[in-house]
């Protein structure tokens, strides 16, 4: 006889609990279906990685589990759940939005289409700030993250620097909703500001000062759209991605002006940048009077981060 309790529990699968009328397939055949049907979007290796992510999310299996058990049979209910994800992937929806989360600096963060999916390059920027901050004598700096999106930078900094005073700004109410949820999940306190940084002069009090300003602003120009993956163009928020071809440094210009006014003497300014505009952003900061302007590559060797000081 079959266990009714087991049949009701969608999270637990045992061969003895599958009714005789259920169809069965090997997991390896579902993997091949992922690879075959995603060929227009991903190569075989990428499709396989996506399949493994879905298995981990749906079945709790690690890669090692799957390699040991890929010939096992799975019931049609589980198959349908996997194929629903496949259907969304075929519509170019990023896996992070399908699952509803991504990993950043060891944190499981909620993401939806109101926010950009955090990238590994941004982890490098956060680690640079943490390393440099820990080398100073200020263990409770005031930090503002401009264009916070999912809150990944602000939340990661607050977790690593628990005595820091974190502020996070975004123009999008929906983005701040996601960021607040992530802060709550990670148990950190952050002051949220809904405002347009292009209008910073009417948002902040004259005497409101910070030790560090960090931003990963929109920096992809319209002419670079053709180089982007379809899932980014179709699903990630363009407000957080793109800047006009006529003013590619628009946000760097305004944030640098904000930093000149609202950074304390000796304060730090950090940017994530478009790899094509590293030298241009450095030149902009030097002309505004920032000192010790340094350009850092990411792990792929592309110009990606800038640190400057207000002296």
- pLDDT tens-digit series, residues 232-268: 555 555 555 455 555 678 899 999 999 999 999 999 9
The reported pLDDT for the residue numbered 76 is 87
For 101-309, give the CATH class: alpha beta
pTM score, whole prediction: 0.85
| Integer CA distances (angstroms), 206 to 198, 259, 272, 310, in order | 16, 12, 26, 17
Q: What's the rounded mean pLDDT across residues 125-132? A: 97
For the ranges 12-26, 58-72, 295-309, the lowest mean pLDDT is seen at 12-26
Distance separating alpha carbons of residues 290 and 292, to the nearest angstrom: 7
- DSSP track, the chain: ---HHHHH-TT---GGGS-TT--EEEHHHHHHHHHHHTTTTS-HHHHHHHHHHHHHHHH---HHHHHHHTTSEEEHHHHHHHHHHHHHHHTT--HHHHHTEEEETTEEEE--TTSPPP-HHHHHHHHHHHHHHHTSS-SS-EEEEES-TTSHHHHHHHHHSTTSEEEEEES-HHHHHHHHHHHHHHT---EEEE--GGGGGGTS-TT--EEEEEE----EEGGGGGGS-HHHHHHS-GGGTEE-TT-TTHHHHHHHHHHHHHEEEEEEEEEE--GGGHHHHHHHHHHHT-EEEEEEE-TTS-EEEEEEE--
Region label for 218, one of left (φ > 0), alpha (ψ between -120 and 50) or beta (otherwise): beta
The reported pLDDT for the residue numbered 137 is 83
What angle separates helix 278-288 from helix 250-262, to the nearest 10 degrees?
A: 30
Q: Residue 17 pLDDT more than 50?
A: no
Q: What's the rounded mean pLDDT across residues 29-58? A: 94
- pLDDT tens-digit series, residues 264-305: 999 999 999 988 889 999 999 999 999 999 999 999 999 999
The reported pLDDT for the residue numbered 201 is 92
The reported pLDDT for the residue numbered 126 is 98
**CATH 3.40.50.150 region(s) of the chain?**
101-309
């Amino acid at each position: 006889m079959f266990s009714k309790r087991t049949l009701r529990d969608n999270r637990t699968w045992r061969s003895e609990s599958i009714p005789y009328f259920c169809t069965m397939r090997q997991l390896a055949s579902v993997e091949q279906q992922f690879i075959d049907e995603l060929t227009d979007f991903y190569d075989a290796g990428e499709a396989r990685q996506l399949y493994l992510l879905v298995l981990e999310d749906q079945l709790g299996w690690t890669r090692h589990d799957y390699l040991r058990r890929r010939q096992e049979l799975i019931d049609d209910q589980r198959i349908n759940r996997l194929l629903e994800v496949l259907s969304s992937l075929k519509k170019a929806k990023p896996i992070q939005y399908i699952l509803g989360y991504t990993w950043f600096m060891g944190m499981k963060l909620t993401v939806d289409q109101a926010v950009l999916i955090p990238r590994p390059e941004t982890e490098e920027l956060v680690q640079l700030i943490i390393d440099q901050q820990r080398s100073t004598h200020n263990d409770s700096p005031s930090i503002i993250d401009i264009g916070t999106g999912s809150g990944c930078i602000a939340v990661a900094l607050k977790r690593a620097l628990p005595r820091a005073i974190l502020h996070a700004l975004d123009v999008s109410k929906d983005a701040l909703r996601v960021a607040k949820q992530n802060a709550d999940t990670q148990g950190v306190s952050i002051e949220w500001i809904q405002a347009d940084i292009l209008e910073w002069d009417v948002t902040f009090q004259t005497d409101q000062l910070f030790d560090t300003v960090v931003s990963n602003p929109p920096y992809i120009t319209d002419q670079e759209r053709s180089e982007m993956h379809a899932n980014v163009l179709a699903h990630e928020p363009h407000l957080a991605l793109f800047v006009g071809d006529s003013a590619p440094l628009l946000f760097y210009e305004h944030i640098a002006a904000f930093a000149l006014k609202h950074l304390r003497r000796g304060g730090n300014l950090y940017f994530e940048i478009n790899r094509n505009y590293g030298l241009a952003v450095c030149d902009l900061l030097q002309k505004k009077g920032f000192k010790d302007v340094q350009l850092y590559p990411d792990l792929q060797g592309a110009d990606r981060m800038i640190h400057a000081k207000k002296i």
